[in-house]
Every structure is written in structure tokens, then in C-alpha cells.
Amino acid sequence: MPYVTTADGAEIFYKDWGPGTGRPVVLSHGWPLNSDSWQIQALFLAEHGFRVIAHDRRGHGRSTQTWDGNEMNTYADDLATLIDTLDLRDVTLIGFSTGGGEAARYVGRHGTGRVAQVVLVSAVPPMMLHTPDNPGGVPVEVFDGIRAGSLADRSQTYRDLADGPFFGNNRPGETVSQGIRDAFWLQSMASGHRNAYECIAAFSATDFRPDLDAIDVPTLVIHGDDDQVVPFAVGGQASAARIKNARLLVYPGAPHGITDTHPEQLGRDLLDFLTSTS
């Protein structure tokens, strides 16, 4: 299986789909998942001629479960190792949820010399946590509850997320398949316990506002307005307002996990963006 090795010796697993000569699209996944969560979009874009690369974040999936480095700076540097090792250029960075933070922090730390476009999907920037200078954020008690659940019974915590807010299955009339919910649980349980636990702070308390200010390439922001994990006003709406000339697409009534609940719409919107500014 393909891996790249980081400066501290971590091995980062990645998939490389589609024609090797296609323009590269790099996908960063959400918490506590892995690159399998992108499989619908990866196949769709690869079949349309793009070279699609999706990696497992350190501590998740098939990558090394390091003890340290479970924070955004290291995640972004791991992403840079992947892009540099494969010598990718003219890249479209697409980040879902926590992966959107990873993509933003990559730009903040490594610039856009290799990046042509950025897409944030249900993403955690600009900053999720409520603080004095981020009064619209999510109270820390919410994240403390996720941490407590992870320590007490992380398997059931992941079940509860999949059965409820992640896919909006707790809304009247919603019937997200058992298969989709099982896939979420399976991927989540493949993450390292410490890695996933520490990642909660990484996605919730990291301030991505300076990173968004550094984005100087065409950017698409996609967010559901019924996202119960990263509320629309906290995430997509605020990011689109902050990033210079960003385009915002709102999915009415859509939950957080739109990669699974709205795959056809998301695929079309990604392809339109990739081709309209190529």
C-alpha cells in the first residue's frame, strides 16, 4: 500500500486514483474518519479525468497512530509532505469538516505555490469554539461532552453521532441508511483512541482566521444550513465572508455529512468548480 513518511517517521497512507496525468485533487477527511469517507467523490472525479489523492490523517485509518502530533500544525505539515513527495502542482485542495481546517492551515503554513483552488465542505474554520473574540462559537461544554463520551464509551459515542446529528438522522422524516451509519462507525473505530481524542481540541479550538486570510486562490465554500455539528453560521457562512472573493453554496436543509447524504449534488458542484476555473 502507498505511504509517505513524515519528518518524525509517521507513515501516512494515501490513495491515488485516476489518470496520473490528470490535474490533482487532494481530499482531506473529517473526524474521526479516514480517506474511505471520500470514496464517492473520489471515484466520480477520477472518472472525469482528475488525479484524486486522499490520505488518512495521522492516527486515523491506515496511517501511523503517533503518540504526539495530533494537532493542526502537524496535520498541515503531513499534508505538505504528501504534496511535496508526490510533487503535486496546480492542486485543488478539498477539505471536509476537520479536513477543511487541515487545508486552511496548510495554506497558512505553506502558502499556495502548489495550490490552484481550495474547497471547504462542512468545514470547521474560521473557529468553532466560543471565546470572548468569537462570541458566536459553540460552547466548550459541547466539546467536553464529546470528550467525556469518547473516554467513557467511544464506540457508542460514534454510534450516537452517526444515528443522530452527523447525518441529520434525528430530523423528522430522515432515513439515512444503516450502511452509511455503519461505515461511519467502522471508520471511526479504526482511529487511534488518543489520536481521535486529541483531535477534538484540534478541530474545535484552533483559530483558522489568519489561515483564511492567507488564501489567495479561487475558493468554494459548501455548507448545509441544518448542520448540527458545524453550524452554518459558525462555519461556512463565516468562512465565505472572510475569504477574499470566496463563492458560497448553501444546501438547504442539509446536515453535516453531505458527502454521503448529497453525493450527486456535491459531485456536480465540485466538478463545476474544477472545470470552470481550470
Catalytic residue among 227, 239, 260, 269: 227
From 29, 60, 223, 256, active-site residue: 256
Q: Is 256 a catalytic residue?
A: yes
Q: What is the 3-state secondary structure (H, E, C) of the chain?
A: CCEEECCCCCEEEEEEECCCCCCEEEEECCCCCCHHHHHHHHHHHHHCCCEEEEECCCCCCCCCCCCCCCCHHHHHHHHHHHHHHCCCCCEEEEEECHHHHHHHHHHHHHCCCCEEEEEEECCCCCCCECECCECCCECHHHHHHHHHHHHHHHHHHHHHHHHCCCCCCCCCCCCCCHHHHHHHHHHHHCCCHHHHHHHHHHHHHCCCHHHHHCCCCCEEEEEECCCCCCCCCCCHHHHHHHCCCCEEEEECCCCCCHHHHCHHHHHHHHHHHHHHCC
Reference 128, options 107, 148, 100, 93; nearest CA is 100
Catalytic residue, from 35, 97, 150, 239: name it.
97
Q: Is 97 a catalytic residue?
A: yes
219-224 β-sheet, strand order: 3-5, 11-17, 51-55, 24-28, 91-96, 115-121, 219-224, 247-251
Catalytic residues: 97, 227, 256
